[in-house]
Structure 1
Amino acid sequence: MSDPNLRRSDKPAPPQPLPSPVVDNHTHLDISRDGGAPPDVRAVIDEAVAVGVDRMVQVGCDLAGARFTERVIDAHPELLGGVALHPNEAPKLYAAGELDAAYAEIERIAAHPRVRVVGESGLDYFRTGPDGIAVQQESFRWHIELAKRLGKALQIHDREAHEDVMRILAEQGAPEKTVLHCFSGDVAMARECVERGYYVSVAGVVTFKNARELRAALAQVPLEQLLVETDAPYLTPSPHRGATNAPYLVPLTVRALAEVKNVDVPTLCAALSENSERVYGPW
C-alpha cells in the first residue's frame, strides 16, 4: 500500500549508490504526474548518475513524447531513445483519421541512430474498451514489423492482455531483441518468455508487499534475460509509493531483485548492465 503520509510532491532521499553502474531501460522524462512542467532532464540525469544509474532509455509513447525524445537524446549522451504509439493512443488517432500520419512520423523518428527502441507498443485492455481492441492489435503488429525492419529492439506494454500479447508475437514473429516492459505476468508466462528468448524488465512493483506472484515469476528468469526500469514517473518502489518516481530510485528495485534472484548486488548489477548493452548497443 502507499504511504498515506507521502505526497507526490515529496522527494525521497537518494538511496545507497549501487556498486557498479546499471541502466534504467524505460523512463518517461517528458511526463509529469502532477500536470506541471516535465522534470529538468539534466538534473534527473545527474541525480541518477550519482547513485550508479549512468544510462537511461527515454521512451516517448505519443507524438509529442517522440518529438521530445528526438531532441533530448541528441543533447544528453546518457540517454538513448524509444518511440512508439502507446496502445491507448492508437484508437484515438484512428478515430480522428490521423493514425497513418502518426505512423509515418514515428517511423521517421525511429530511424534516428540514437533511437534504439520501438516501444512502448502492445496491448492495454484496462483503459481501452472492446471497441479499441482491433485497432490496438493492428497497431501492435505494425510496431513489431517496424522494429524488425529497422533492426531495433521492441519494448512491449502489456496490461491485462497477456494471452493476446504472446499470441500476436508468435504469429507476427518477434524481433530478435524483445523486451517485456514492466513485466506483470505469472510463472507460466515468465517461463514462456524465457523459452522464446525475450527479455523481462523489472519495475518498482517487485518491491511491493502484495507482489508475491510477480516475485515467483521473476525467480524463473535467468540473469542474462533480466533488465531493470523505473517507468518513471510511475510505479515508485517501496518505501516511497505515492511519491513521483525517477531514475535515481532504481537502486531500490535492483536490491529487491537481488533478493528474489538470491544473488549479490554486484553480480546483478554487472548482468543488468551487460544485458542492456546487448539489447540496445553502446551508449
Structure 2
Amino acid sequence: MWAVSAKRESPPVPEPLAPLIDAHTHLDACGAETAADVTAIVDRAAAVGVQAVVTIADDLDAARWAARAADWDPRVYAAVALHPTRADALDDAAKAELEVLAARPRVVAVGETGMDMYWPGKLADCADPAVQREAFAWHIDLAKRVGKPLMIHNRDADDEVLDVLAAEGAPESVIFHCFSSDAAMARTCAANGWMVSLSGTVSFRNAHALREAAAVVPAELLLVETDAPFLTPHPFRGAPNESYCLPYTVRALADLLDRPAAELAEITTTNALRTYGIG
C-alpha cells in the first residue's frame, strides 16, 4: 500500500548500533519465502546490532507464514491479524484460524489491526469503515483472550481508533505501530500507558507533527521499527527498506531528541523485550 521503488538500490549498511529490536517488519514483503531467506535477512540485521525482529501479518496467508517463520530462526517473532483494509476477509473460518495462530508461543502480538480512514474511497477493495470497526473490536477481544499485546494500525483515524478502544476496553498492552499522529495523540497514548513505535518517517524533514509528537513520548513507552520494506529513513526514502536499516532511524531520532543513540538503543530494546515478553 506504500510505494517501494524496485529500481532504487538498497541503502548502504549503516554503522552498527546495539542492542536493537525491530518491533515491526514484514519479512515476507521483503522477499523472504524460505527459512534460508529469513536467516539471510536477520543475519544482515544482526551484523549492525539488531538482535531480534517481529514479523507482522496483514492477511491470513501472511499470518500463516509469519507464524512458521518465527519457528525457523530464534531471532524472529510474529504477530498475526487481518489489516483493517482487509477486514472483509474476517469470516468465521479466518477467526478460528487466527485464534489458533495467536496462541502459538512465538506469536507475541495480535496485529496489525485497527482503523484506516485514508484508503476507503481510494482503494477499490478496501474494507468499509464499519467493517473495519467490527474487525478491530474482534481483534481487541482476541488480544485479551490470548494475553498478548494489541498492535494497532492507525492511519488518519485517531478519533475512530480511540472510540473503539473506549467502547471495547483496551487490552493491558497496546502498541501504536508506525505512529503517525500529532503530539496530542502522543500525550493520549502516554496517559494510557500505550507503546508508541516510531519508524523511518520520524526522519522525514517534512513530518513536522510527527517529530513534535516524538518529543513528548516518555522513554519507557518508546519502540522503534522499520515497517520494512516500506518507509525507509532519510536520506534513502523510496528505496527498499530492511531490518538492517534500523540504526538510521534510531540515530535520526537521537538527533531529534538530543539524546545519545546508544542510550535510545538500550531503552527501546528493554521496552521491546518487556512489551513482547521475549528474551
The interval holding the TM-score normalised by the smaller chain is over 0.9
- The equivalent position to 1:170 in structure 2, one of 163, 166, 169, is 166
Q: Determine the C-alpha separation between the residues in 2 that align with 1:17 and 1:261.
A: 20
1:276 matched to 2:272? The reply is yes
Structure 1, residues 113-170: CA drift from partner, whole Å, max 9, x if none? Answer: 1101000000111112497111100000000010011000110001111111011112
1:219 matched to 2:215? The reply is yes
Match of 1:25 in 2: 23
Q: Determine the C-alpha separation between the residues in 2 that align with 1:107 and 1:29.
A: 22
Aligned amino acid, residue 138 of structure 1: E
1:7 CA drift (Å): 5.4
- The equivalent position to 2:244 in structure 1, one of 227, 248, 253, is 248
1:58 matched to 2:50? The reply is no
Q: Determine the C-alpha separation between the residues in 1 that align with 2:190 and 2:256.
A: 17
1:258 matched to 2:254? The reply is yes
1:262 CA drift (Å): 1.9
Q: Runs in 1 of length 4+ with deviation above 2 angstroms?
A: 6-9, 36-40, 128-131
Aligned residues of 1:8 and 1:244 also touching (Cα < 8 A): no
- The equivalent position to 1:146 in structure 2, one of 125, 131, 142, is 142
Structure 1, residues 235-270: CA drift from partner, whole Å, max 9, x if none? Answer: 011111111100000001001111222211121111
- The equivalent position to 1:106 in structure 2, one of 86, 92, 98, is 98
- Classify the secondary structure of the residue corresponding to 1:108: helix
1:193 matched to 2:151? The reply is no
Aligned amino acid, residue 29 of structure 1: L
More moved, 74-83 vs 120-129:
120-129
Structure 1, residues 90-117: CA drift from partner, whole Å, max 9, x if none? Answer: 12x26xxxx1211111111001011010
Aligned residues of 2:81 and 2:110 also touching (Cα < 8 A): yes
Q: Determine the C-alpha separation between the residues in 2 that align with 1:135 and 1:76.
A: 35
Match of 1:10 in 2: 9
Distance 1:8 1:176, change over 3 A: farther
Q: Determine the C-alpha separation between the residues in 2 that align with 1:42 and 1:124.
A: 32
Aligned residues of 1:31 and 1:38 also touching (Cα < 8 A): no
- Classify the secondary structure of the residue corresponding to 1:31: coil
Aligned residues of 2:86 and 2:127 also touching (Cα < 8 A): no
Distance 1:270 1:12, change over 3 A: same
Q: Determine the C-alpha separation between the residues in 2 that align with 1:124 and 1:193.
A: 18
Aligned residues of 2:233 and 2:248 also touching (Cα < 8 A): yes
- Classify the secondary structure of the residue corresponding to 2:109: strand
Structure 1, residues 160-209: CA drift from partner, whole Å, max 9, x if none? Answer: 11111011112211111100000011111111110011000000001111
- The equivalent position to 1:71 in structure 2, one of 68, 72, 93, is 68
Q: How many correspondences in the alignment? A: 269
Aligned residues of 1:7 and 1:242 also touching (Cα < 8 A): no
Match of 2:109 in 1: 117
Aligned residues of 2:84 and 2:127 also touching (Cα < 8 A): no
Aligned amino acid, residue 258 of structure 2: N
- Classify the secondary structure of the residue corresponding to 2:112: strand
Q: Determine the C-alpha separation between the residues in 1 that align with 2:41 and 2:8.
A: 15
Matched-pair identity in %:
49
Q: Which runs of 5+ in 1 are unaligned?
A: 1-5
Match of 2:86 in 1: 89
Distance 1:258 1:9, change over 3 A: same
- Classify the secondary structure of the residue corresponding to 1:206: helix
TM-score by length of 2: 0.92
1:81 CA drift (Å): 0.7
Q: Determine the C-alpha separation between the residues in 2 that align with 1:193 and 1:88.
A: 23
- The equivalent position to 2:40 in structure 1, one of 39, 43, 56, is 43
Q: Determine the C-alpha separation between the residues in 2 that align with 1:270 and 1:118.
A: 25
Q: Which runs of 5+ in 2 are unaligned?
A: none
Q: Determine the C-alpha separation between the residues in 2 that align with 1:68 and 1:160.
A: 29
TM-score by length of 1: 0.91
Match of 2:131 in 1: 135
Q: Determine the C-alpha separation between the residues in 1 that align with 2:216 and 2:32.
A: 40
Aligned residues of 1:54 and 1:78 also touching (Cα < 8 A): yes
- The equivalent position to 2:224 in structure 1, one of 224, 228, 231, is 228
Q: Determine the C-alpha separation between the residues in 2 that align with 1:37 and 1:219.
A: 35
Aligned amino acid, residue 30 of structure 1: D
